[in-house]
Amino acid sequence: MSTCIVRNWQGDEVGQENLDLRVAKEGSAAHVVHRALVRQLNHSRQGTASTKTRSEVRGGGKKPWRQKGTGRARAGSSRSPLWKGGGVIFGPKPRSYREKMNKKERRLALSTAFQGRADDLIVVEDFSSQFPRPKTKEMISALDRWGVAANEKVLLIVVEKAENVYLSVRNISTVKFITSSNLNIFDILTAGKIVVTSAAINHIKESFNG
Tell me the pLDDT tens digit for each residue of 135-167.
Answer: 999 999 999 999 998 889 999 999 999 999 999
* pLDDT, the chain, mean: 93
Co-location of 25 and 67 in the same domain: no
Instruction: Sort strands 175-179 and 121-124 into parallel, antiparallel or unpaired.
Output: unpaired
Q: What is the pTM of this model?
A: 0.83
* 95 closest CA partner among 45, 59, 133, 58: 45
What percent of the chain clears pLDDT 70, i.e. is strictly above it?
100
Co-location of 53 and 122 in the same domain: no
Number of domains observed in the structure of the chain: 2
Co-location of 103 and 181 in the same domain: yes
pLDDT digits (tens, 9 = 90+) for 101-129: 999 999 999 999 999 999 999 999 999 99
In this structure, are residues 4 and 146 in contact, taking their beta carbons and an 8 Å threshold?
no
Domain region containing 75: 47-96
Co-location of 135 and 156 in the same domain: yes
Co-location of 187 and 108 in the same domain: yes
Co-location of 30 and 116 in the same domain: yes
In this structure, are residues 166 and 172 in contact, taking their beta carbons and an 8 Å threshold?
no
| The last residue of a domain, from among 96, 113, 134 | 96
Band of residue 91 on the pLDDT scale cut at 50, 70, 90: very high
